[in-house]
Structure 1
Amino acid sequence: MIKQTFPIYDVSSLSGFKREDFLISRFAPYLSIHENLREAHKHSFYHVMLFTEGTGKHTIDFQTFPVRPYQMYFMIPGQVHSWQFEGHVDGYVLNFSVSFLDTLLLKPDYLEQFPFFNGAISETVIELPGQLRHRIVQLFESLVHESEVPELLAIDMVQTLMLQIFILVGRLSIGNTSSVVNSYSYLLLKKFQKLIGQHYKSLRLPKDYAECMFITPNHLNALCKNALGLSAGEVIRNRITLEAKRLLTNKALSIAEISCQLNFTDNSYFSKFYKKHTGFTPEEFRKQH
């Protein structure tokens, strides 16, 4: 039996809220109800936060960011995160299930066009420019109102308000790359990243993914080099290393169990792989965290 690595919460499991598909709240009362969420945990849903007051630290997949007012965080299902705040903090939190927007959108991958919903840590944190802050806060206030005082077509209004936020913030992220957002290369890269998320435990070589995508390994490698500055093999190994870090922070799992979960043939091979790509042995990393 596989041991649990982190607490994994879905929208309906958060106490004090009844809906199963979305949750909207000001952040201070949300945090007071869910003090346990300060510790490292995962979500099965999309998680968006806007801070308007307070400072502290927010750690996402082992990268730590200083919390500042008018900073937005966008997280996808499966990421590990924790908070360390200094004094009073406030803002807004928006949680919604993977399927929440399906009834409104005909494109199942609509959210993937926004860089901040791709799971890349470098795109996770958005600093809102001054001219956009008031407008985004107004949209969050409207979301809170629709959640607390539901009226006719309230779900439809919530969904359209959410999309306004994503589009306005998305313009900051993709404004300089709009010419390639819908290009064939971009779509191939997104497909590659999605396939890695599904098969990184069993498929380790670029040629395996290239075959699934009906392109050559050289084409795949060039695509990753041009878009990410990394080889296709590095992209695959980075995903394996990230999952290893997530598992290593759970002391209930032995190194042997982690090696098995990640489909390594033995502990020694896993340890060599991990040290080669992080500079630390699994035991050294575990002591640090």
Structure 2
Amino acid sequence: MSEPFTSPIKTVQEIPELRTLIQSQRKQDASIGFVPTMGALHAGHVSLIEAAREECDFVVVSIFVNPTQFGPNEDFDSYPRLLAQDLEKCQTAGADLVWVPTTDIMYPPHFSTYVEVKTLSEILEGATRTNHFQGVTTIVTKLLLSCLPDKAFFGAKDYQQQAIIRQMCLDLNIPVEIKTCPTVRDADGLALSSRNTYLSETERESALSLSHALNLAKEKIQAGETNLSHIKTEMQRLLTTTPLVKLDYATIVDAQTLEEIETPHPKMVALVAAFVGTTRLIDNCTLN
């Protein structure tokens, strides 16, 4: 018989217990910070926990691999699940509590309510990943309403996701401040992602083309280039000529509406998405 798993940090599964612990903190006038994750934590997640630690008195991290945001041919079954390592990282980064709900808790029998943000969810990632953002917004709504933090922390790498969640909280009057933290990268520029573990050494080298394409766009804008169509074409050419890379999109959009733009203005974002081998990666950078 195996030894029971012991956690290095306080964990909870059930929502009533989560709320009781948070309520006890609120009675002490503690501010609550929340970092939702799907586990397989890396330095990017750690930076979110550390940011929450700096701004809030009590930090809650959720670890839940959400089935409704995966498509039928995506990697839900193979998505890395490393709970013991994740709990250690949460503790080292300064989290106070880790919430690890089960699928039955988040999606009980006869669950039939979904949250959808129109327009923003129908372009870019939403154009190729059917119902992905419906799954994201539904689970994030449930997570936020379960613990009602003062602030929730998201990474800038998932730019469209954080924009959609901001709009969702605004539309539904969810009283949580959404904080977006900078993308964390390896020394060579690759944006950290739990899916990077899927990449072979050769694929990882090809994956650098995503950040290279973004840097190309940034350099051209800083040099005074105003023909955004030309910049987008150059980004796409760089990616499509890189071995092992299958381009999904490389574009420049309005930072708020995410609509593709043709002429520069003060708030722009370059976005890229591509398969490297069988692994789908995304990245972005702001352009001023």
Query: Is the TM value for this pair above 0.5?
Result: no
TM-score by length of 1: 0.27
Higher RCO (C-alpha under 8 Å, 6+ residues apart): 2
TM-score by length of 2: 0.27
Name whichever structure is richer in helix by fraction: 1
